[in-house]
Amino acid sequence: MACPPKKIFNRATLYMKKVQKNSQKSLPKKRIWGKTGKTRMKILNGAAVAFSARGYYGTSLVELSKRTGAEQASIYYHFKDKENLFKKCLIYTHLTVIRALRRDLDRKNDLRSEILSIFNALANYSDVYPERIALIFQLVYSAPKAISIFYTRKFGGDFRAMIADAFERNPPARNPAIKSSLAVDMLYSFILSLSAPAVRNDRRLMVPKAVDFILKD
């Protein structure tokens, strides 16, 4: 006895769904790039060079693609847009710099030596990775306001904390708060000077005398 047309249609539909399901199992799985993989790091490192050279607004997606060696579609996939890429690049750069400084910090019983070691570690790091220090400089002058506010609130205190810790370990006899504040201001100014080749060497030579002036009683 023949099946009614409706039952034939239902059986055919179920059969096609089963075939489609089995065929999907046999297909190779789509490759998914891990967001912490080599491609992401390659984009971050290349973007740091691009942003530090031209600033946020002066760096196009074409330039980012050229510097990173990644297609624009890949950049969008990993970082959504240019603003998010700049933000993530800045965070990555900042944390890398801070880790390097803390690693090379000379924690001695002498306040002057410890303060100088912070400046020296920063200068030495800048010699190896000038584009990373320059990216922090670009934050001041070319970043979108929202990113500047975010960075200042979340990470702005890291450099200040290094100076404050040094003063806490070896407080000077007179005016420790004022001297610590002056040292922090000097450190921020020094970071900016490292991004300017015309003045960076002169500023490095001035650091010991400036520190002595701040710490003197």
Domain count, the chain: 1
Compute CA 69 distance to the chain's CA centroid, rounded to the nearest angstrom: 19
Residue 211 lies in a domain: yes
- Domain assignment of residue 196, given as a range: 90-215
Rounded Cα–Cα distance for residues 217 and 174 (Å): 6
Token readout for 183 is 């040292």
Q: Domain with 117 in it: what CATH number?
A: 1.10.357
Residue 16 to residue 20: CA distance in whole angstroms: 6
Q: What is the pLDDT along the chain (217 residues), one digit of tens a residue?
A: 444 544 444 554 554 454 344 434 433 333 333 445 788 999 998 998 899 888 899 999 999 999 999 899 999 999 999 999 999 999 988 998 899 888 888 777 789 999 999 999 999 888 888 888 888 877 777 888 889 888 888 888 899 999 999 999 999 989 999 999 999 999 988 988 887 777 878 888 999 999 999 999 7
Q: What is the pTM of this model?
A: 0.72
Q: Which amino acid is at 160?
A: R
CB atoms within 10 A of CB 201: 11
50 within domain boundaries: no
Q: Which residue has the tokens 């400084």?
A: 101
Given phi > 0 = left and psi -120 to 50 = alpha, else beta, which region is 174?
beta
Tokens of 29: 């799985």
In a domain, 202, yes or no: yes
